Amino acid sequence: MSSPTRKQIKREQLLDYGVQALMNQGYHGTGLKEVLDFVNIPKGSFYNYFDNKEQFAAEAVGHYIEPFIQRLTGHLQNPELDGLGVLKRYYAELIVEVELADYKGGCLLGNLIGEVGDTSEICRCSLLTTVERYARLQESALVRGQQEGTVRTDRSAKSMADLLLNGWQGALLRMKIQRSTAPLEDCCSTLLDDYFKA
């Protein structure tokens, strides 16, 4: 495998910092100059990496979700966890991290959906694709749980995965204003410890 080029490294750095800036300041509060200055790239050179700010934000969405996808995939590959256990462990870890972050940030997907999901077509498409990819991975855990007999089978795994994702996003918003993990814990316990169980 060849080493990444300087351009690829700079592109990754732009996306890394872009995710942080978009999380902390939102789409409209994030200026390209700030991002470029942090990565030490001249302003005119931005267009060597991205067509415009919208494309940058759209690609930041996919960049943001990748570590979550990898972590959840890792739990799915753990033979000691059943399908429901995968989701319980995964969400328990997220709750700890949110608390450590002092309830700030939430989820870049939810933040951008609320801010530009209906005003930027390129961002909307990126968000939709990413949310569906994330939901399908959680669906696979629920399908496994159904096969193992731990998850109810009178509801489709898809509908439960969508409900979990929707509930989690809403709970993240409540968490921000309550400055408490209680909404997240309630969401997980209601769904993973009760509603989804066989």
Question: pLDDT value at position 190?
Answer: 98
Q: Is 115 a residue whose pLDDT tops 90?
A: yes
- Give the contacts of 30 (CB within 8 A, at least 6 positions apart): 18, 21, 22
Question: pLDDT value at position 21?
Answer: 95
What's the whole-number average pLDDT of the chain? 95
Question: pLDDT value at position 3?
Answer: 82
Question: pLDDT value at position 105?
Answer: 84
Each domain of the chain, given as residue ranges in start order, spans 53-195
Q: Is 86 a residue whose pLDDT tops 80?
A: yes
Question: pLDDT value at position 4?
Answer: 83
Digit-coded pLDDT (tens) for 33-70:
999 999 999 888 899 999 999 999 999 999 999 999 99
Rounded Cα distance, 35 and 135, in Å: 30
Q: Does domain 53-195 bear CATH number 2.40.10.340?
A: no
Report percent pLDDT > 90 for the chain: 90
Digit-coded pLDDT (tens) for 139-171:
999 999 999 999 999 999 999 999 999 999 999
Q: What is the 3-state secondary structure (H, E, C) of 65-89?
A: HHHHHHHHHHHHCCCCCCHHHHHHH
Which residue, 143, 64, 74, 55, is CA-closest to 111?
64
Question: pLDDT value at position 2?
Answer: 76
pLDDT band at 1 (very low <50, low <70, confident <90, very high): low
Rounded Cα distance, 122 and 119, in Å: 9
**Predicted TM-score of the model (pTM):** 0.92
